[in-house]
Structure 1
Amino acid sequence: MQTLISIPASSSASSPNPKPNPISGSSSSLIWSRNPCSNLRSETPVQIRLWRPAAQRNIRNQWSTIVSQKQKWSSASSNGRSLASSLVNAYLSCRYLPSMDLGVLSSMNGIRDKAHQKLAQKQEHYREQLLLSYSELVSTVCQMVRASQSMRCFLKGSLDSPIVEFCSQPGNSDDCGDGRGVPVFSYLSVTYFESLAQELTQMFVLELNLKRLLVAALCCITCDDGINTQANVLNWSNELFPGEFENMGSIGLLNEESCLPIPPCIQGRENGDTNMERLSQHPEREVMQVYLTVWLAEVNINTRR
């Protein structure tokens, strides 16, 4: 439910607000355009006086949302890394079980088969939990992007009414929601906060896409050949969980033409290889160590910035 801010209205006449530019759906542009609307009339001082407190409260609320989602990201990412490590350990134990020296247990009939079955069950359990952790990361980034796109404050209704209300969605096509660039806090305008929020959320968007590659690669590994498990049918172009593509499309990680995920990349560099339909089901131990290291490093998130 939208939160509305009610402020007593002045009896002064009102004038129309600027016309907004739409938000782009691509990952390269997540905020409103800052092109000036020079052909529109300026707001009156009364309108600015009523708009600024509502805009300040809205910006505080959206930044609070971004900060809380950032904390959820840290928790889900840490949990995902722990699950990925457990998945890799279960796979390696299962893979090298036939060559292990079991000591006195070697004399027990079927001990290796029983251990293999238990390790395979653990691997499947960790795979399911890793996908759940990844879905939390997707939800978190979607909330962050949505908050970064909702920092403008729009007039709800008309100034002719006894109560002036503001909300986060435009009520008419002449409302730009930025007070025509007037400062909100000190000398900082709405577009400044939008630009800062875009820079922050873009880090998490790129990191999410890289983690998707790691999750897909880790969920594909299996020590059982020829068995029709989730790992055998999973590839890069599949949804990793129901509704994933819809969420990825909302943050610009889905190709509009092919409706397939955009290949991951490192910030400041071009996208990687698009031919990722076949993910290895039997990677080497060193490769999986690199997967876990990249997950922990979060190379796209500049913590110093």
Structure 2
Amino acid sequence: MIKIQYSAEVEAARAAGGAIVALESTIITHGMPFPQNVEVAAQVEQDVRDAGATPATMVVIDGVLHVGLEADTLQSLGQMTNVAKLSRADFAACIATGGTGATTVAATMIAARLAGISVFATGGIGGVHKGAEDSFDISADLMELAQTPVTVVAAGAKAILDVPKTLEVLETQGVPVIGYGQDSFPAFWSATSDLAAPLRMDSAADIARAHKMRVSLDLPGGQLVANPIPADAEIPADELAPIIAQAQSEADAQGVSGKGVTPFLLQRIFELTEGRSLVANIALVRNNARLASKIAQELLKI
């Protein structure tokens, strides 16, 4: 039997029937160094509160699923080492063996479902990696969206991926991909791309109604809400394209493969943009947290 520990704040929101937004924890353990990781996580949680909802950061500690973090737990998590990075494949094993692991998009969706939380804010989802026709490297995030009924707010798929193939897989799996406030599918660090968003919605209320309708129709899976990064924080796609290409070329030349590809590319892009990519990443996560909070509140009205 899984043991779930709710933070006092989340427990109070559950009792009051308040809006709750799930947040992942890999940004804390694998995204940036201490103390910046804790500072950013705390800021994102505060953004959720300021927008009228309660944050529920997910993490597994000593085999216990934490839904929401107390301040001291967040501080401790930010300084932990050798924390596993959990996805669908290893989520249960970590809990069963009393392990400690941070949740990716897929694992956070599973945790949110277990806790009865319908909305989750993240940075960008994983997807189909470039060269996947040879490597078969496709993120579990896509299959999770196809089967777990959680609305995920992200700034699109990470721009280092093969985004057209990612959209094709999502379409094949029947996942609604909703562009928020624009027809273009956002490209993570960039607000727009040359790809069209399959659907467009201009309000949190419409997104909430679509979520509820999927439940009513007994359709499996969730929704992906593609929320563009604020214009004042973006790095234009034409500026990023050669940087991403250079990082990918270096990864190929050095034989980087498998799970090592994404962290290598993100680090090189951080270096090549002189830190601008991280600044943009923080801005888009905070923006997604605010929109997710609005959607969570609208769901309570239906």
Q: Is the TM-score greater than 0.5?
A: no
TM-score, normalised on structure 1?
Answer: 0.26
- Rg larger in structure: 1
**Greater fraction of residues in strand:** 2
Structure with the greater relative contact order (CA < 8 A, sep ≥ 6): 1 or 2? 1
